[in-house]
Structures are given as structure tokens and as C-alpha cells.
Chain A
């Protein structure tokens, strides 16, 4: 008996569009994972410099939310930003080339991992000063309101940013002016090596953000289907009610704060804790769902893996072969002429 027949029987009730969307969620998470696994390697080979913060373990959050946006909605995030652009559909070649510092990169090699931009995909920046994306994303939402548009803005940042004064200022103005922005704090339990319990007087971050006159809630972000479900509802709420929303997304990074982080695991968190969370890896979790519901076969999932590995390989080759920016580029883009 072929698996194909099996699947058709079991899932006759799942519409094709939904089937395609689920497969796409899987493909995107896997693309981010394989992309970043390569980044980690390239960092150790000195092909990527500076700081490199990987999103490994947190993929379900970006993918679940971003997949529910309209094309002209905006996304901004902090420096752990590869997942956002890849979920938005930025060209992996241009992203990789940026990490390699090449002129073919998203920012012509002048931003690097922590400062990606992709205006075409409406990614208006990764910001490397903890907390600052919150203020700028609030301004992008201000523009949406000012223009009377239907756009909304997603603003991703870490639990460490909860303690930046700008959060208070921005949430107050967003609440005051009813700006269409969804603040998403990625509560991955740590700001570098400092656990939430040691940096936040109140560890329920949704509660901390609940006093600005708009809704605030906590969601589980280890399961992309959960994230998608909440994202649909919350995005719809913001678009129709024209008010901000605060989401505390419970997630976990499986790797060190930065690539080649020597203090992890061991010094501030245990290997056991990481292993425990790895059991909730969003990628196998979705794979299991797809298989059990006959939405995909193992062969099909393997084929997706081969496909994204090829995309990453191609991106790496492109980045490798691309030229450095010419030295004159140093003086370009200080000002618009």
C-alpha cells in the first residue's frame, strides 16, 4: 500500500490551500534552520564576522506571525533578524551575501547580520541597540495611521528589551494614539546570560505591558500552528480595531546567545534545560503533525529538506563568489545627494 493512498484517505477534509500553507510553514522554518546552521559554520570559518545571533529554536514565532501578514504590512526587529527576512521571502542569496559582507548583500555589505533591511519586502530594519526597535516600529505604525492606510506593523524584540525606558514611552504613545502595531516580545528566558527572573521585577511580561490601554497576552511560540492561530486573530484585531497589541511569545533559543558562544551551555543554563526544550523543537513538531495527519509523507519532507539545503548551498556559493564592496563604497550613503 502506498503512502500516497494512505494520505488521501486520511485527509480528504483538509483543503488544498491549507495543505499548501502548512507545507510552506514547514519549508520556511526549515529554510531558516538550514540557513543558520550554515551561518554558524561560516562564522567559524571567518567568512562571517562581527556578532552573529542565531534564531535556532525560535523559528515558529517569525514564520507563524509573518505568514499571516498582507504584502504591504511592515516588519521590524532586533538584531536576531535572519528569521524575519527569510520568512518575508527575502532572497537568501542577498541575505547570505550581506552576512559575508559582500556588495551583493541586502545592504551592500555595510550593515551585516545585526542591521538587515529589505525595503522591497517591507522589512524596515534590524536594530542592534536593545529596545530601540520598539520606538522606530511605533513610528512606522504612526505613518500607517497618518496615511489612513490599512497596514499594520510587527515589532519583534527580546525579553531584555522589556527593561529599556523606550518601551514605556513607545507603548504609552501607541496606546494614546491607537497605532496599528503588534509588539512581540520573544521571551526566550534569557537576555544573554541573565534569566528573566534576574532582570524583570515582574516575570509575566504580558502583565508588565498590560497598562497602556490595549490588549496584552502570552502565547506558546514553540508550535507554529499555535502561533499561526493566535497571529490570525491578533492581526485581525489590530487591523479592524485600529489599536496596538502586545504579545509575549514563549520561546527558547537552542544555541548560544551569539555564534561561537563559549559560555553556553553550562555557565548560565544547563545542558539538561536545553535538551528539555529541544524536545519541543518546532520543526519536528510540525513534521509529526504533517505525517500523522497524512498531509505529507516522510519522502516529501525529505525532499523539502533537500530543496532548502540546495537553496542555502546556492546562497553560500553566491556569497562566496560575490565581490567585496569597492573601497569607494566607504563614502557612499552617508547622505542622500
Chain B
């Protein structure tokens, strides 16, 4: 297996799916001639031309609506948002249409499309370019939400997303683009709703996704030095979500910590807490904690920004608190 970066893995999935299915096309701002803000689509316009790779005007509601229209009439659009923060302009399209057309048409009209792009903090981009978006999307019935942490998962899940018959929201953390990992060549798909147990442990379970997985792994190494063994679950997809794997782990460790960059208040961590509480309450030996983003607009200053998102030491402290 070749070692590739996260963004190369995404590009590989795009190429393979475009080769596999003529109906797949890419659309977004500056993804073609400019080759993408984060260079995920580097070389694709040159390879496939303007019929498959569409540079759009700066019109998020407009081109996401176009993608929805194209999807209900048989195409398979893969839309890049320059950052998910800009997708707020198109939340009406995503929530009122992409998520509802199948339901309100009584199953007659499908919306097989993918919206993908970066979301999350850590690049000093301040409050309007650093949003985490997963909770807004996961809250809406009708949207699948994918949020990978490794290059291999990114490839396998994106290929599955493009083949899915539903609208799939694919969230890439900007801090992961240059991370590396082994990526299987060629046909490699991963099913949705299957969490990955990244590390086995007996003392506590960290439930997380995306950048949180990397933080949890570092925290686990530190805790190991003190003889504490944590289990790490990478949810990988939030809708559908593999709660069974979470409950199984809780039945073993009896302790749980949810970790994400997104705001703490009513974030996905709250859902994790609620699910465990409803389904594995009897197995808990401690309150479930959340290590999550500060409930503030993301500040620009480097130190403040760092202070606003979870750090390895926060996870270490949380684990010790529940032991």
C-alpha cells in the first residue's frame, strides 16, 4: 500500500469515481483552473475538462441548488464548498430541499449527491472560516454525515458517498489535509455506520471523529505511560452512526469521554452522552464528560485559537477525572 496524504486520498477517490461513472461531475468555486483552495482537485480540470469539472461563480445557494436539480434528474454531482462555513448560505438548499425531496415526494425523487469540503478550526482563519458543521447537518433527517480522520477512510468513505443514493455531507478537517497514511490502491470502499476501534483499552472510552481521533491517540500514548489504557472509537460517520460499537465499549470500560472541535453546547457530544445514558446507563461508573470547543466565535489570535479547541492535555485531564 502506498502512503498518501489525506487530500491525495480524496483526489484518488474522485478520479476513480469519475472514471467509473460518467454521471459523476465536480462543481465548485475555483476547483478547476485554480485547482482548488486546498488543492484537493489539483489536476482534475486538466485531466477531465470543463464538462466534468465546473468552476462556478461565487453563488453557494445557486450552485448547490443546481446540484440538487441535476441529482433529481439522474446525475451524481460532487460539490466542493471552499469551506463549509460558506455552506451556511446554502443551508436552505441543503435542509429544505436536499434532505426533504425524497420524503416529501413519497420516495419518488432521489437526491444522490455529495457536498464536500473543509470544516474546522486551527488555521488562524478566525470566526467566519473555521466553523465545524457536523452537528447542523447531523441534526437534519435525510442527510448522511461523513467525517473521516485518516487518508484511507477518506478514500473509502468518499467512494461510498458518491455511490450512495442519498445526499451525503462529507466533512474534511483542514488540519488533516497533509496528514499521511497508507491508502489501499484501486477499488476500496467503506460502509457507512461502522465505527473504527482505533485502540483497545480497558479503563475508559474516548468517542470521537475527525481531528479528535489524532488528539485522542496522543492522549492515549501519554496515559499509557501512567498505566492507563484507553479505548478510542472513531465514529467516522455520524449519520448513520454505529452506536452499538460505542455501547459495547462502555460495557467494558464503564467510562466515556466525547471529544470534538465543535462547540460544546448542544454539540454532537451531547448526543453521544444521551445515547450512552439511554442505552448503557447501568454500565457507567462515572459521569460522561465532553472535551469540546469553547462556546465562542473563533478568535484570530493564535493563542486564543488554541485555547478555544480541545488539546491533548484536556483529554488526558478528562480521562483522569473519570477514573
**Nearest neighbor of B54 in chain A, beta-carbon distance:** A177
Q: Are A172 and B62 in contact (CB under 8 A)?
A: yes
The residues of A that contact B112 with a CB separation of less than 8 Å are 336
The residues of B that contact A165 with a CB separation of less than 8 Å are 61
Determine whether A17 belongs to the interface, using a CB cutoff of 8 Å to chain B.
no
Determine whether A26 belongs to the interface, using a CB cutoff of 8 Å to chain B.
no
In the complex, what's the smallest C-beta–C-beta distance from A37 to chain B, in angstroms?
A: 26
- Total residue contacts A-B, CB cutoff 8 A: 140
Determine whether A286 belongs to the interface, using a CB cutoff of 8 Å to chain B.
no
The residues of A that contact B75 with a CB separation of less than 8 Å are 142-143, 146-147
Determine whether B159 belongs to the interface, using a CB cutoff of 8 Å to chain A.
no
Q: Are B69 and A140 in contact (CB under 8 A)?
A: yes
Q: Are A336 and B66 in contact (CB under 8 A)?
A: no
Which stretch, A117-125, A183-191, A302-310, touches the partner chain B? A117-125
Q: Are A173 and B57 in contact (CB under 8 A)?
A: yes
Assembly CA distance A132 to B167 (angstroms) = 18
Assembly CA distance A333 to B93 (angstroms) = 19
Size class of B's contact patch? 35 or more
Q: Are B69 and A146 in contact (CB under 8 A)?
A: no
Assembly CA distance A23 to B245 (angstroms) = 66
The residues of B that contact A115 with a CB separation of less than 8 Å are 104-105
Assembly CA distance A142 to B51 (angstroms) = 11
Considering only CB atoms and an 8 Å cut-off, how many residues of chain A contact the other chain? 43
Per-residue interface assignment for chain A, residues 99 to 127, with 1 indicating a CB less than 8 Å from any chain B CB and 0 otherwise: 00000011111110001011100001101
Determine whether A211 belongs to the interface, using a CB cutoff of 8 Å to chain B.
no
Determine whether B127 belongs to the interface, using a CB cutoff of 8 Å to chain A.
no
Indicate the member of B65, B71, B74, B141 with the most A CB atoms within 10 Å. B65
The B-contacting residues of A in range 37-89, CB under 8 angstroms, are 74, 76
Per-residue interface assignment for chain B, residues 148 to 173, with 1 indicating a CB less than 8 Å from any chain A CB and 0 otherwise: 00000000000000000110000000
The residues of A that contact B103 with a CB separation of less than 8 Å are 110, 333-334
Whether A135 touches B61, Cβ cut-off 8 Å, given contacts A142-B69, A143-B74, is yes
Which stretch, B94-102, B129-137, B197-205, touches the partner chain A? B94-102
Determine whether A176 belongs to the interface, using a CB cutoff of 8 Å to chain B.
yes
Assembly CA distance A141 to B144 (angstroms) = 26
**Nearest neighbor of B72 in chain A, beta-carbon distance:** A124
Whether A166 touches B61, Cβ cut-off 8 Å, given contacts A117-B105, A141-B69, A336-B165, is yes
The A-contacting residues of B in range 74-121, CB under 8 angstroms, are 74-75, 92-93, 96-97, 101-110, 112
Q: Are A333 and B107 in contact (CB under 8 A)?
A: yes
Q: Which residues of A contact B (CB under 8 A)?
A: 74, 76, 105-111, 115, 117-119, 124-125, 127, 129, 132, 134-144, 146-147, 165-166, 169-170, 172-173, 176, 332-336
Q: Which residues of B contact A (CB under 8 A)?
A: 25, 51, 56-57, 59, 61-75, 92-93, 96-97, 101-110, 112, 141-142, 144, 165-166
